[in-house]
Amino acid sequence: MSDKIDAALETVFGANSELYQGRGFQRRIGWGAKPALLVIDMANAWTRPDHAFSCLGMDEIIPAHEALLDAFRAKGLPIIYTTTAYEVIDGAVTDAGLWHKKIPAEVLSAGSPAVAIDERIAPQPGEIVITKKRASGFHGTPLAGMLRAAGVDTVVITGVTASACVRNSCEDAIADGFRTIVVREAVGDRIAGAVAWNLFDIDAKFGDVEPLEAVLDHLRRNDF
């Protein structure tokens, strides 16, 4: 089924690319002087099987993250992770807003193994984990200020999901003045076709979607 979906999407993307380009979309934003790696929600609830939030494609996504983490660490560049977790779900007042009425937020209990970053790509000392309550890594968090304080002008965004937290983080990143690069092989989702469609649309409007090897090559070739 996924091959049929991918083939259908490629046909649609071809036609839509002509429309977008004819109207001035799909421009390139490019790299700035100093990038940071922003890893969105690569916690166990999303990366491991048999969770409500489990995503497809981890056999490719985890190795892509390992390669990126190695490259950023080798250059001494900032690495920031996010996870999504809630302190209070039941009752009239929660830290989930009304999101828990649409999604099973109750399984994202703060402090639980479900919301811990996957140990295969675990943070090292000095790498920060931000707990967020909304889809975007920027919304209601100190992320933008932390990046600016570190002299960062470019965010390389990876993680899950393409249709929600990755996409929303891209939208806020470019709106907050950061060049936005998304690594194609390092983004996942739960639903067939969601990654391809959202990466196409992100690339048209919110950031540059680049293959893993191109990102690694840029990091190898440049001093920061």
Number of domains comprising the chain: 1
Active site residue 165: yes
On whether residue 20 sits in a domain, the answer given is: no
CATH assignment at residue 210: 3.40.50.850
Mean pLDDT by 10 residues, the chain (224 residues): 70 75 90 98 98 97 98 98 92 86 94 98 97 97 98 98 98 98 98 90 96 98 94
Q: What are the DSSP E strand ranges found in 42-196? A: 79-84, 128-132, 154-160, 179-188
Contact 67, 186 (CB under 8 A): no
Selecting among 108, 144, 165, 194, the annotated active-site residue is: 165
On whether residue 13 sits in a domain, the answer given is: no
Residue 145 confidence (pLDDT)? 98
Residue 70 confidence (pLDDT)? 98
Structural domain of 62:
29-221
Q: What is the pTM of this model?
A: 0.94
Q: What are the DSSP E strand ranges found in 79-220? A: 79-84, 128-132, 154-160, 179-188, 208-210
